Amino acid sequence: MRKSSLFFLYLFIQALSLGGLFTHASYKQESDESLLQEKINLVQKFALTDLCLFTEASYTRHLSLADFHTAFQNSPLALEHFPSGSLVFHPQFVKKFYGNVD
């Protein structure tokens, strides 16, 4: 068997595996929807805070407690100190109270 045939066979198997992963994810999402809704209700009932996704700065660790100026505490024209600050969007309640902030 030629090397190109083996390569195309490998690509076919990988594409088939990727399709199987997406199919499984679709079925799993439908079956776990009730569990997800239960978790959403629990978070709303107990008013739980945000999940800590970044460990760099306080305004990226606790997104619901950060204000607009925390990232620029040294100077209003200061550059972003941490890379995770560019990955984080403003929470929805900030847009509700202050209008469009982008």
**Which pLDDT tens digit goes with each residue over 32-44?**
888 889 988 988 8
Q: What is the DSSP letter of 15?
A: H
Q: Taking the model in full, what pTM does it have?
A: 0.40
The pLDDT assigned to 66 comes to 61
For 37, the token pair is 């809704």
CA pair distance 19, 16, nearest whole angstrom: 5
Query: pLDDT band at residue 96, thresholds of 50, 70 and 90?
Result: low
The pLDDT assigned to 3 comes to 92
Query: pLDDT band at residue 92, thresholds of 50, 70 and 90?
Result: low
pLDDT, tens only, 1-48:
899 999 999 999 999 999 999 999 999 988 888 888 998 898 888 877
In Å, what is the CA distance from 71 to each residue of 57, 59, 61, 65, 97?
9, 7, 12, 13, 19
